[in-house]
Amino acid sequence: MHHHREPASKGPPATEALESRVQGILSRMTLAEKVGQLTLVNGHGGHIPEELKTALREGRVGSVLNEVDVGTVNELQRIAVQESRLGIPLLVGRDVIHGFKTVFPLPLGQAASWNPEVVRRGARVGALEAASAGINWTFAPMVDIGRDPRWGRVAECLGEDPYLSGVLAAAMVRGFQGEDLSRKGHIAACAKHFAGYGASEAGRDYNTTNIPEIELRNVHLPPFKAAVDAGVATLMTSFSDLNGVPASANALLLTRILREEWGFDGFVVSDWESIPQLAVHGLTADARESAREAANAGLDVDMAGHAYADHLESLVAEGGVTPERLDALVANVLRIKFRLGLFEDPFTNPADFPAIANEEHLRAARQAALESAVLLKNEERTLPLDGASLASLAVIGPLADDGYEQLGTWVFDGDPTYSRTPLQAIREAVGDSVDIQYVRALETSRSRNREGFAEAKAAAAHADAVLLFLGEEAILSGEAHCRADIRLPGAQEALIHELAETGTPLILVLMAGRPLALEGVAHQVGAILCGWHGGTMAGPALADLLFGVESPSGKLPATFPRVTGQIPIYYAHKNTGKPSTPGSFVHIDDIPPGAPQHSVGGTSFHLDAGYTPLFPFGHGLSYATFEYANIRTSRETVEIGESIAISADVTNTGDREAEEVVQLYVRDPVATVTRPVRELKGFRKVRIGAGETLAVTFELHTDDLAFHGRDMRLASEPGLFHAWIGGSSEASLRTEFEVVSPATRRESDLQHSSEDV
């Protein structure tokens, strides 16, 4: 068995035939037509205004976004192809982030499945449904590293870890694009937001980011590289300022790294109006200067900004942008249009596609929701519920029966009429045998009105168990929806305190778009099942887990802090010169009055929160129990350029078959730059029968241990490495191995032979 290293396929090669087609069109284009290919305009909701028709006929628009009526899309394509001079077809873009009509869990939720196949299938279903409406380009995957859950867009990201994000990003690209972009139902993907957006200061959207280049390369860029290696067609720039040069004009990113180092030959699109916003940042004086800076940095397409349309022609005429630079930008766009097969067939016939929200699509969404849910806590086997021995059940909370809210953020096309809610699914699961009392208790997740508490408390007091569906509405996460305090909003904590007084077992089912700070209430509930925003089929998936039809198998892709003030808190931190250990810190309540000031023996922690999270990265419980033993390596030393196998035995010591995500972590304890205390390097989701033992082996190449050093070059260094295999980032089963340099070994051999002489 191998660890999850995705094959690096660079996508379709830029063949001579393709390049000659691109150059053939380029050589016939006027300056205005070239700028047109770099212009992306917003649609008009099923209507085509006269000025857009004219612009299409004149070749002044190359792509349209947010038009989802297939008749309108076909008419836009017809005008572009049949009524313009060169007949260049359009790209039609749409945010298909976690499904089209059939909505899958949020990307952060999908990441909790730790299953690339779940992610690939979700993108496949989204692509098929969107393509049936004429869409041929989507703005996903988002691969920003999310280490600040205050940021609303962590909902869209794939978690805090570069390796996990990269594996899942590649899977999502394959789902959208398939093996051949020109085939029906395959659409162009877009890795975003290049780069560093997830490090926005204070978790506040669009905010400044200051990221040392070494951290940019070691943490934030690897998932983008994984997407590029998987053949992603396009990238999108970040809104944010990066070290003083906003990403949409950042030549280090767009030219040196992306084109020269990685060899990317697709195109890069700005985020919405991010080119004219360069002037708002203070990099440029106006939209004209912004267009010049973006084009010269290597940004190909202007999304909704009109800066290229208004200024690029005159900039080229006056020498601010060279004709060669303009041609390179246009060629990047044409290359993708050819790969999509749009010149052969730009039109869409919905009859060529499976029905929207068909049974197969709903089944895939249900499986994704099932694998995404993470059992965070389960004291004394509070879960699963035994339907046969239950007489009554209280279902409480504003998210128990809301088909819209369970879809989550950024689902412009999601249709709540397809949703199956937890309450519906629970009623189906238990039939008439269990008396179900449903109390909404709060109007919304933000409500502070406690009028419904008395009814909720009465229902809880008379029930055998309470299922509490709490968390966040969809609108509390996503773009521009950041929170400074990530506790349960509104009066939800107060509701839990009230219900705890009844003594009835409480089961908290979290539905949210981010990790939440739950220290204030976690001790009052017997179990916590995190279902994120699970999409269309969240209800049946959660019911299967709550009643034990299935065992939870999700693991956290992002750390859950105890309190908001611990942020940023993530597993792959540096050690510091004074690391905390159990017993090495003093709690604020244990300090005597008038204590003398000193820092002797001090370590890195918060007086009021310690140094550990509430739930660590990689954590997730099961209804089975898994024990790890006998960690071993295939060799003690491995030469740079070679591989080592690291194995452990995983035993299901529980009484039922279940799935476990087995995780491999390594540490490089001594290096030319300090390295994290642990880094994920492999994972496998395995199904193990009750009482069975499975040997799980990871193949680790020394390339997997490489990092960017002081000179910014990627290299593997010799030395001792620690390795852990376990069920979370806190795995304790450890071994070690040594990486040696072949050159060093040869030099020492030569020394010995010369001494012999």
Of 508, 514, 509, 504, which is closest to residue 539 (Cα–Cα)? Answer: 509
What are 336's strand-pairing partners?
none
Of 113, 65, 57, 116, which is closest to residue 93 (Cα–Cα)? Answer: 65
In 77-219 the beta strands, taken as DSSP E runs, fall at: 91-94, 137-138, 190-194
Quote the distance between the C-alpha of residue 643 and its chain's center: 29
The Cα–Cα gap between 581 and 548 comes to: 37
DSSP per position, 619-652: --B-SS-EEEEEEEES-SEEETT-EEEEEEEEEE
As a whole number of angstroms, the longest Cα–Cα distance in the chain is 94
Q: Is the dihedral of CA 586, 589, 590, 596 positive or negative?
A: positive
Q: Which secondary-structure segment (H or E) carries 378?
A: strand 374-378
Of 11, 21, 37, 84, which is closest to residue 327 (Cα–Cα)? Answer: 37
Q: Please, what is the end-to-end C-alpha distance for the chain in angstroms?
A: 48
Q: Are 366 and 99 in contact (CB under 8 A)?
A: no
The Cα–Cα gap between 602 and 375 comes to: 35
Token readout for 347 is 């039109």
What is the SS3 string spanning 138-155? ECCCECCCCCCCCCHHHH
The Cα–Cα gap between 238 and 651 comes to: 45
Tell me the catalytic residues: 271
Q: Is the dihedral of CA 333, 335, 339, 345 positive or negative?
A: positive
